[in-house]
A and B are shown apart, each in its own frame.
Chain A
Amino acid sequence: AQSVTQLGSHVSVSEGALVLLRCNYSSSVPPYLFWYVQYPNQGLQLLLKYTSAATLVKGINGFEAEIKKSETSFHLTKPSAHMSDAAEYFCAVGGSARQLTFGSGTQLTVLP
């Protein structure tokens, strides 16, 4: 079964600094990959998704992710963190199975 691994359950960055959240997938063929964000007491909101059309995917709120097949990675980045980016971020994979398989999540803290 396909899976994703998120490295780092907690990441702290200063406001204005680069955000880098790591995700690696298990499949040799890049599956459908997603990044979701969850704000406190809310459901998950899609940030971006990879569907093989382009290796660099741009999402909402200034986030983007690049798939690197040689590294089986799909890391999420944002050039300049904002206080409002503090949330939990989930990488997920969807393939032949309809449901998504989620990583364990990364809690992002943005320091003033």
Chain B
Amino acid sequence: GAGVSQSPSNKVTEKGKDVELRCDPISGHTALYWYRQSLGQGLEFLIYFQGNSAPDKSGLPSDRFSAERTGGSVSTLTIQRTQQEDSAVYLCASSSIGAAGRNNEQFFGPGTRLTVL
């Protein structure tokens, strides 16, 4: 089927506004990840969802960031009161989890480029 899709592809917002970024994972993938790719920071993990388990939020940089995953499929990453340092490409990935519970290949979406003015 189709790969991971993300929307919007680009988002420009003003400092202090809230933004929502959407991710549609590959159908049947139970695991979903959000990463942030910033200039000079590389790729950093934000949050991980696996089935109905409580998400791993250990990578969220502040309480302005939150994410939810509805029905075990689509996920929304919300950034409240955006700051200029939030400007980055936000990448979503999904994967299936093998019988041993180990990482299987993560399939990445094209990302959302967020610019905070």
Contact = CB atoms under 8 A, between A and B. Distances in A.
Nearest to A101: B45
Interface stretch (A11-19, A39-47, A67-75): A39-47
B109 interface: yes
Chain A contact residues (Cβ within 8 angstroms of B): what range? 20 to 34
Given A43-B91, A43-B110, A44-B91, A99 B105 contact: no
B32 to A, nearest CB: 10
A100 B106 contact: yes
Contact of B103 (A36, A45, A98): A98
B77 to A, nearest CB: 15
B59 A99 contact: yes
Which of A41, A98, A104, A105: most chain B Cβ within 10 A? Answer: A98
Contacts of B65: none
Contacts, number: 55
B61 to A, nearest CB: 14
Contacts of B108: 36, 43-45
A42 B110 contact: yes
Interface string A70-112: 0000000000000000000010101101111111110000000
A91 to B, nearest CB: 11
Contacts of B50: 98
Which of A44, A49, A101, A102: most chain B Cβ within 10 A? Answer: A44
A6 B35 CA distance: 19
A99 B45 contact: yes
Nearest to A93: B103
A99 B91 contact: no
A19 to B, nearest CB: 21
A73 to B, nearest CB: 19
Given A44-B108, A99-B56, 8 more contacts: A32-B103, A43-B4, A44-B93, A90-B43, A94-B102, A98-B31, A98-B33, A100-B103
Interface of B: 4, 31, 33, 35, 42-45, 48, 50, 56, 59, 91, 93, 97, 102-103, 105-111
